[in-house]
Amino acid sequence: MHNPFTSLASLARTLGCLAGLWLAATAVYAQAPQDDETATTYEREFNYGVNFNTNGGLLGGVAFKYAWQRSADWYNRVSLEVVNLKHPKEFRARGAISSFIPNKVNYLFAVRPSFGQEYVLFEKAPEEGVQLNLVFGAGPTLGLLKPYYILYAEQPNDGLAISRRYNPSLNSNNIVGAGRPLDGIDELSLLPGFHFNGGLAFESGRNRNSVFGLEGGFMLEVYTQRVPLLGFNPNAIGPNILKNPQWFNGLYLILYYGNKQ
């Protein structure tokens, strides 16, 4: 089973950076007016943004969040993320027509509805400053598996290639590129799972109602079985044989924009 704690050193470094931002936010907050006339309480917030994570490459996916006030410093939140997850050993190879991912059998798109809480550590002034929230949440994961298609030439030198679903029994020398993005969209399958995340959110805004910020932290996700992302030789043996993961753990960053009421 994939070890969910292999990124602890990287996580520690990221939390150290978040702690530094926390201190910076504290300094800004200390300079802002704190009397009742400048304090502003919001009952609802909606935002949307883009997700970056260590399991999804440069751009992981999209995120949406709605939060409402529960008490003076606590907010309930519901969120939805749709992200692409990759095998940690994926790489691209050059084909005669286009690049492709060797041994890849499926894409994994994780749909994450989540319920969580936010605690306001420092509240920003109405027109300036930075607000710092502690955030955490959990929920089910709907893992959508889409088959990976390749361009395959029966005869490598005849110039004719067809788009077909990859499987490990194909001759890798005959793969000349990747299939079209929508190939296999009608063959989606579902793999359920569960996820948990926790982190810090930094918010600022130029006026009372708009909000721009970033949320960063860690994510732990587990599926009901190993996720078939790469196809391996079923006859291979030995301690170093690559395996598909059942657990995904990593860091995430969400850049978001929205409004408060």
- For the segment 93-112, the average pLDDT, to the nearest whole number, is 92
Q: What band does 48 get if pLDDT is binned at 50, 70 and 90?
A: very high
Q: What band does 41 get if pLDDT is binned at 50, 70 and 90?
A: low
How high is the pLDDT of residue 236?
47
How high is the pLDDT of residue 128?
66
- For the segment 46-53, the average pLDDT, to the nearest whole number, is 94
How high is the pLDDT of residue 182?
92
CA atoms within 13 A on the CB side of 106: 21
First-to-final CA distance of the chain: 45
How high is the pLDDT of residue 203?
87
Q: What band does 86 get if pLDDT is binned at 50, 70 and 90?
A: very high
Residue 141 CB coordination number (10 Å): 23
In the beta sheet, which residues pair with residue 106? 147
144's CB contacts (< 8 A; 6+ apart) are: 108, 109, 110, 111, 188, 189, 190, 191
How high is the pLDDT of residue 183?
93
Three-state DSSP class for 186? helix
DSSP code at position 104: B
106's CB contacts (< 8 A; 6+ apart) are: 145, 146, 147, 148, 227, 228, 229
* Total-model pTM: 0.79
- For the segment 26-34, the average pLDDT, to the nearest whole number, is 45
Residue 133 CB coordination number (10 Å): 22
How high is the pLDDT of residue 97?
87
Specify whether the CB–CB gap between 88 and 244 falls below 8 A. no
Task: Kindly report the average pLDDT of the chain as a whole number.
Answer: 82
How high is the pLDDT of residue 125?
67
Best-predicted range by mean pLDDT (94-108, 124-138, 155-169): 94-108
How high is the pLDDT of residue 151?
92
- Please say if the pLDDT value at position 38 is more than 70: no
110: left (phi > 0), else alpha (psi -120 to 50), else beta?
A: beta
Q: What band does 109 get if pLDDT is binned at 50, 70 and 90?
A: very high
Across 18-32, b (16+ Cβ under 10 Å) vs e yields beeebeebeebbeeb
- Please say if the pLDDT value at position 144 is more than 70: yes
- For the segment 71-78, the average pLDDT, to the nearest whole number, is 93
- The CA–CA distances, whole Å, from 29 to 24, 77, 123, 202 equal 9, 24, 8, 12
- Please say if the pLDDT value at position 37 is more than 50: no
How high is the pLDDT of residue 202?
92
